[in-house]
Amino acid sequence: MSIVTSNSESTASAGRPRSEEAHQAILDATLALLVTSGFSALTVEGVATRAGVGKATIYRRWPSKVHLVMEAFSQLPGLKEVDTGSLVGDLGKMLRSYVEILNSTPLAAILPSLAGERAHNPELSKLFDPLLKERRQPVIHALERAVERGEVRSDIDYDLTADLIFGPIVMRVFFTGSRINPKILGPVIDAVLRGITPRPRDQPG
Amino acid sequence: MSIVTSNSESTASAGRPRSEEAHQAILDATLALLVTSGFSALTVEGVATRAGVGKATIYRRWPSKVHLVMEAFSQLPGLKEVDTGSLVGDLGKMLRSYVEILNSTPLAAILPSLAGERAHNPELSKLFDPLLKERRQPVIHALERAVERGEVRSDIDYDLTADLIFGPIVMRVFFTGSRINPKILGPVIDAVLRGITPRPRDQPG
Amino acid sequence: MSIVTSNSESTASAGRPRSEEAHQAILDATLALLVTSGFSALTVEGVATRAGVGKATIYRRWPSKVHLVMEAFSQLPGLKEVDTGSLVGDLGKMLRSYVEILNSTPLAAILPSLAGERAHNPELSKLFDPLLKERRQPVIHALERAVERGEVRSDIDYDLTADLIFGPIVMRVFFTGSRINPKILGPVIDAVLRGITPRPRDQPG
Amino acid sequence: MSIVTSNSESTASAGRPRSEEAHQAILDATLALLVTSGFSALTVEGVATRAGVGKATIYRRWPSKVHLVMEAFSQLPGLKEVDTGSLVGDLGKMLRSYVEILNSTPLAAILPSLAGERAHNPELSKLFDPLLKERRQPVIHALERAVERGEVRSDIDYDLTADLIFGPIVMRVFFTGSRINPKILGPVIDAVLRGITPRPRDQPG
DNA sequence: TCGTAAGCGAGACGGTACGTCGAGTCTTGCT
DNA sequence: AGCAAGACTCGACGTACCGTCTCGCTTACGA
């Protein structure tokens, strides 16, 4: 059972089982309305109507709109583990695929809403934070492998470095909302690996 | 006149002048409630009550919650222009001071909420985006000076590099909500300038 | 179904049924507030608060304050049909009972307020006028029986005569607001029946 | 000084005297708006705008909308003293002229509003009641003369009889709001004088 | 096979906030 | 001190959703 899903598969109980059909219809309606209306304009009433479901059926499964949106969010794809043998290759492949996800799913629209809510909602924070940690693991693993290979200095802070790598992407998702141009990934990876200072070998002489 | 402020300095008009006291009380109440509740849970009614003011007094000055929040936000301090003669010095001083601001004002609590709303609220986006652009200018200027001095490669993308620098700070503000430890600034600046790969001169010969 | 009542007896519908308890609490609160404040100072918000009910519960049943007040008003007792065999007896019994009602229910306090509003409120007028017409029918019927019996001239205008009979009572309700002394009824009925001029048989000779 | 007017002519005071021009402009605007909008839709703000006057100028003179309307009302014409030598003649002339006033001024529209308000507003009642008493005096005087002439029984209650005479007119003003047809006056006066029972001399002998 | 417990859509429940308007009061500069 | 103008606080408007609560009705399990 996932962190965010409710215990629908727990101890077989008497009575009518919950409708899996309704469950998915609700999540689908949620994602659809998130795309068209955004998080704060999303109403549980609207989700219920679109899903052809009673409000109680939603509240029976999720304690609040935030939790509902969070489960919808958790269904969206994330980073995939990639091992090409080099950090440049790993990061390039992972980030390119991630940008593709950001550009083709509601993920980019939902992420800032949840982060914005997280700050004032400890309950959400409790669910959201581990999820976020989990979702960046592929990059952490790639960094660990790179350190083992000697490609990267061994004294780096993994979390901080992951922040450095995700930073430019997240900055754009949060502050511009526009499509992420995959062309920025090359320069970003290059800067992270080798810095922005001039390189001796690039200089004549 | 700023983008978000109203034309308070315009020609003295007939009738009772608007109360400057009420104006500031409203902005103060807005900031206080943004910290505790966030943007979407902020109600104009709540602001009015806390400021000891009628709702009409708020709507007379700001056409919507968005405009009100933007003016309150724009009162918070931001990056200061710094010129120490080196990029390391400039970034160190600027970011250290910025982290101090994040740790001592409601800025860190408000920023994610606004970013989360921005994605679905074009009206907010229209006011917020230029404000954000303006607020990162000191770093852009420092980078420009560094390029002129030859400290930094001349082919860098200024915006992308600014994203790279702010990234780790913003990531922590948005996804952890905790105090920012100023100790991360050194490694961040170092990584941005020289990358995370091993350095030839650090290696034993 | 009455003009003012809603179709509560219609086919049982889906969903939670409307609370009969809330319905009566709202009407009671309406009458109480009409007495203390009058129609124009009556607020739906005030009724909701006093009835311990949400505003929506009121608007779900009555489309406007006018309809609500009309249903509350229509619950108050009115003239009762009486047939004693003589017009003097009918009027005496009916009016005595009506004065008792005026002196013991909120009717006397509510009536002027509604009449005052009626003049400028077509919606109210549309509901109120038929109700008023209906409420004076017992007197009209008594007059009709009296005409049949030859007790009263056959060329009288029933409505005008009813106005003549109610006139003194209504004048006092509207312009003094005090209790109506039942002792005026004898002289009123006498004057209506036999006029105020001296009577031949009362004169000597 | 009238009962309802404020002390505009009281002890000559320091400062600028109140503008008599403004005073009349306000009353005119009030009557004009009463005709077009009715009492409840009349706003002090609207009166001020139409009179080209500040709201404070109105509130300086009248404590509320009701008082303002009352003074406007008191400017409207009322019953005129008439002495034709017979009660039938007096009442005929007076009532015919009064009905003409009701049909051609806002009086009929204002009267119910004030009566409706009177019931819940003791302050208004204090001003309104003596005015009403004063306005019916011509009928009382005509009755007194008729008693002296022996046209009317000497044991009648003057007030009650006045109520009987005004009753049908007031009933129609309050409960129908329509024009008063002057043709009802003949039957009303006849009924008051001689009753509605069959007359011996009308019967065949 | 059938009772029953839980789920179902529907919709009413008491609340809260919306953005607007008018009430009655207060505060300018001017007359 | 009065004036026009227009700010002030307050509170009601009728609507939309909140999250909860009945309704009458399935539905599928286990006695």
What pLDDT band is residue C63 in, cutting at 50, 70 and 90?
A: very high
Burial grade of D155 (CB within 10 A; 0-12, 13-18, 19 or more): exposed
Structure tokens at B52: 């000891």
What pLDDT band is residue A17 in, cutting at 50, 70 and 90?
A: confident
Q: pLDDT per position in chain D (205 positions), as tens? A: 344 444 433 444 566 677 788 899 999 999 999 988 888 889 999 999 999 999 999 999 999 888 999 999 999 999 999 999 999 999 999 999 999 999 999 999 899 999 999 999 888 898 899 999 999 999 999 999 999 999 999 999 999 999 999 999 999 999 998 899 999 999 999 999 998 888 765 444 3
CA distance C14 to chain D (A): 40
| Cβ contacts of C117 on chain D, cutoff 8 Å | 40, 113, 116
Instruction: Answer for A24: CB within 7 Å of strand E.
Output: no
What pLDDT band is residue A12 in, cutting at 50, 70 and 90?
A: low
Residues 115-144 of A with CB under 8 A from B: 115-121, 125, 129, 132
Could you tell me how many residues make up chain A? 205
Q: B65-77, pLDDT tens digit by residue?
A: 999 999 999 999 9
Nearest residue for F7, CA–C1': B16
Q: A91-128, pLDDT tens digit by residue?
A: 999 999 999 999 999 899 889 999 999 998 888 898 89
What pLDDT band is residue A3 in, cutting at 50, 70 and 90?
A: very low
Residue B2: per-residue pLDDT? 46
Q: Which residues 13-42 of chain D have a CB under 7 Å from nucleic chain F? A: 13-19, 22
Asked if D193 and C191 come within 8 Å (Cβ–Cβ), the reply is no
Could you give the C-alpha distances from B113 to A49, B67, D153, in angstroms and in order?
28, 15, 87
Mean pLDDT throughout C65-72?
Answer: 97
Please check whether residue B177 is in contact with residue A181, taking contact to mean a CB–CB distance below 8 angstroms: no
Q: SS in 3 state form for C82-144?
A: CCCCCHHHHHHHHHHHHHHHHHHCCHHHHHHHHHHHHCCCHHHHHHHHHHHHHHCHHHHHHHH
Strand, coil or helix: what is A155?
coil
Asked if residue C201 has pLDDT above 60, the reply is no
Residue A15: per-residue pLDDT? 78
| Cβ contacts of A168 on chain B, cutoff 8 Å | 160, 163-164, 167
Of A2 and B188, more confident: B188
Residue D123: per-residue pLDDT? 84
A contact test, residue of B39, B43, B120 with most A CBs within 10 A: B120
Instruction: Answer for B53: CB within 7 Å of strand F.
Output: yes
Instruction: Answer for C46: CB within 7 Å of strand F.
Output: yes
How many other CB atoms sit within 10 Å of the CB of residue C16? 6
Instruction: Answer for B43: CB within 7 Å of strand F.
Output: no
CA distance C46 to A125: 41
Please check whether residue C157 is in contact with residue D184, taking contact to mean a CB–CB distance below 8 angstroms: yes
Tell me, yes or no, if C86 comes closer than 8 A to chain D by beta carbon. no
- Across all strands, nucleotide nearest D14 (CA–C1'): F1
DSSP code at position C182:
G
What pLDDT band is residue B31 in, cutting at 50, 70 and 90?
A: very high
Residue C8: per-residue pLDDT? 38
Separation between the CA of A113 and the C1’ of F1 (whole angstroms):
59
Tell me, yes or no, if D159 comes closer than 8 A to chain C by beta carbon. no
Q: B53-66, pLDDT tens digit by residue?
A: 999 999 999 999 99
